Amino acid sequence: MKKVVFEGAGVAIVTPMNDDFSVNYDKFAELIEFQIANSTDAIIVCGTTGEASTLEDDEHTKVIEFAVKQVNGRVPVIAGTGSNETAYALKLSKDAEKAGADALLIVTPYYNKTSQRGLIAHYNYIADRVNIPIILYNVPGRTGVNIQPATYLELSKHPNIVATKEANGDVGALVETIALCGDNLHVYSGNDNQITSFMSLGAKGVISVLSNIMPKETHDIAAKALEGDFKASAQLQIEYLEIANKMFVDVNPIPVKQAMNMMGLKVGPCRLPLIDMNEANTKIVEDVLRKYKLM
């Protein structure tokens, strides 16, 4: 059985920006402390929600270094280092390892749309050259590439590839993947509306957008499942389902960042090409925040 990077709810944390779009490190420290104080089980930096695709190389490394220093070993820090160029993904991964990350989150190559054999070659190439665990990230809605269960089986044979963040929404494929890989590949839900269902099948937790605004509540959904109390977990999953879904009325992380700003967390804007929501979607997010008494 491979070592588990974390169990429970890890936050795919936003990267707060100043008005000039520079990274707001003072606010970033506040957000990390807010997460840890509210029982978040891991901090995932420089992912999709962290706008990694708009960070320059030096910013990317500095954000990881800052998070590692601020967390100071209290929970694992997992760094997003994916790219559609294998050599560049390796560079980001080695930089993250040097910065002190506990594990890597590596999304499938996007736009190139490689084959399943290409995925195996890509991930094994990186895994051969780093010394910290890799969590795969499968989100075909954003990348155009979907990791098949048989491909997961091949990838799980590498000792450094320990888990996947699965966000393809296909529970049937998830069951097949778990059946094939067993304890050689741990699973995290990549969707906040599927935490209980994934964990009832053996997933270790979730890498969550919702945790940015409701860290304790998201942690509790996962914690109840880890305790084997799936009825209580399901009750919480259903209770927070509406707000979890409304964080995707526009492209992530636009809604969650605007929600945080409405809540007074002052995380600033997204970087272009992402822009603020239109009036209708802003109203949807405002209404759901009021419903859950977050503003």
Using CB atoms within 10 Å of the CB of residue 260, give its burial: 0 to 12 exposed, 13 to 18 middle, 19+ buried.
buried
Nearest one of 215, 212, 262, 282 to 49, comparing CA atoms:
212
**Catalytic positions, written as ranges:** 137, 165
Q: Which residue has the tokens 């509540």?
A: 217
Cβ-contact 179, 173 below 8 angstroms: no
Using CB atoms within 10 Å of the CB of residue 106, give its burial: 0 to 12 exposed, 13 to 18 middle, 19+ buried.
buried
Cβ-contact 196, 170 below 8 angstroms: no
107 has which bridge partners? 137
Cβ-contact 215, 9 below 8 angstroms: yes
CA distances, 253 to each of 49, 90, 184 (Å): 5, 25, 31
CA distances, 243 to each of 146, 222, 225, 275 (Å): 27, 17, 20, 21
